């Protein structure tokens, strides 16, 4: 028997009052189902009557809690997204090829992924691409605030992982500086259509057959232009992106 699980976050992008919204939805579920167990709320996703088995993956929960504190509302909200990322990475461990993340910011999801894989036979290189500094082509203020030491912070954060390679610079130009020949897992989280398409142009041919491409914001309605461009790009390659309930998009390379 699976234990009863539940995860409640007040992370509801665009809600006038996420707190009220959560309380109202909880009351509604209680009145209809007589229970709040097996329920997920957060990241604009409400799921009822689900096992939520990732909450029972102790290694994942340990890695998640080592980075996301209980009061981190958006962090708690995106737990299912982060688990999907960790699953994709774990699934790619034995396939050979490196892992690549385009759009790292302060490295939250990559850090949880590395912590999660730490006890496994984790020797794949992890390549992290971001401008990591003020760049007029990217609105870094939303991600880094006014911090000018973000690269040092991220470098320090990944110091325990000798297989992590941090490549500062604008995507796709930074691929010229250093990039892997073979990729088993590619995570795209740039929030910029042109840059994500440029990353696909440069890297998709290096993704091994069976390799995974995960798009972070593919299913969110604020990113419809990005989705349309990525659908069109993949269609030309005979691939279809699966929209996941988390809002991510998933491709397994044919």
Nearest to 121 by CA among 154, 95, 88, 102: 95
Residue from the set 68, 88, 104, 126 that interacts with ligand SAM by CB under 6 A: 104
Asked if residue 120 lies in contact with residue 90, where contact means CB atoms within 8 angstroms, the answer is: yes
Residues 6 or more apart whose CB falls under 8 angstroms from that of 42 comprise 7, 8, 9, 10, 11, 12, 76, 77, 78, 79, 80
- Using the rule CB under 6 A, give the single segment among 53-61, 103-111, 113-121, 200-208 that binds ligand SAM: 103-111
Residue from the set 108, 125, 193, 239 that interacts with ligand SAM by CB under 6 A: 108
Length of the chain: 254
Q: Could you write out the DSSP letters of every residue in 193-209?
A: HHHHHHHHHHHGGGEEE
Residue from the set 42, 77, 97, 103 that interacts with ligand SAM by CB under 6 A: 103
Peptide bond into 172 cis (omega under 30): yes
Site string for ligand SAM, 185-204 (x = CB under 6 A): ----xxxx--x---------
DSSP type of residue 192 = -
Residues 157-186 that bind ligand SAM (CB under 6 A): 170-171
Does residue 143 interact with ligand SAM by CB under 6 A? yes
- Using the rule CB under 6 A, give the single segment among 14-22, 113-121, 125-133, 204-212 that binds ligand SAM: 125-133
Which residues contribute to the site for ligand SAM (CB under 6 A)? 103-105, 108-109, 129-131, 138, 140, 143, 170-171, 189-192, 195
């Amino acid at each position: 028997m699976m234990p009863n699980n539940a995860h409640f976050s007040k992370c509801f992008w665009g809600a006038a009052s996420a707190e009220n919204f959560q309380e109202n939805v909880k009351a509604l579920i209680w009145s209809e189902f007589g229970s709040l167990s097996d329920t997920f709320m957060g990241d604009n996703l409400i799921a009822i009557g689900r096992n939520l088995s990732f909450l029972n993956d102790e290694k994942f929960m340990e890695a998640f809690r080592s980075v996301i504190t209980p009061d981190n509302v958006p962090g708690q909200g995106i737990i299912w997204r982060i688990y999907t990322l960790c699953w994709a990475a774990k699934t790619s461990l034995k396939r050979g090829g490196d892992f690549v993340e385009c759009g790292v910011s302060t490295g939250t999801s990559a850090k949880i992924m590395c912590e999660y894989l730490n006890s496994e036979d984790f020797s794949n290189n992890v390549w992290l691409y971001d401008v990591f500094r003020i760049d007029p082509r990217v609105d870094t203020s939303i991600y880094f605030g006014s911090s000018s030491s973000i690269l040092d912070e991220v470098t320090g954060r990944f110091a325990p992982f000798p297989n992590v390679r941090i490549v500062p610079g604008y995507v796709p130009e930074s691929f010229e500086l250093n990039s892997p020949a073979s990729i088993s897992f590619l995570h795209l989280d740039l929030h910029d259509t042109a840059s994500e398409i440029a990353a696909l142009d440069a890297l998709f041919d290096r993704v091994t057959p069976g390799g995974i491409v995960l798009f972070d914001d593919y299913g969110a309605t604020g990113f419809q232009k990005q989705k349309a461009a990525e659908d069109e790009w993949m269609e030309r390659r005979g691939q279809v992106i699966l929209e996941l309930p988390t809002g991510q998009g998933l491709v397994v390379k044919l």
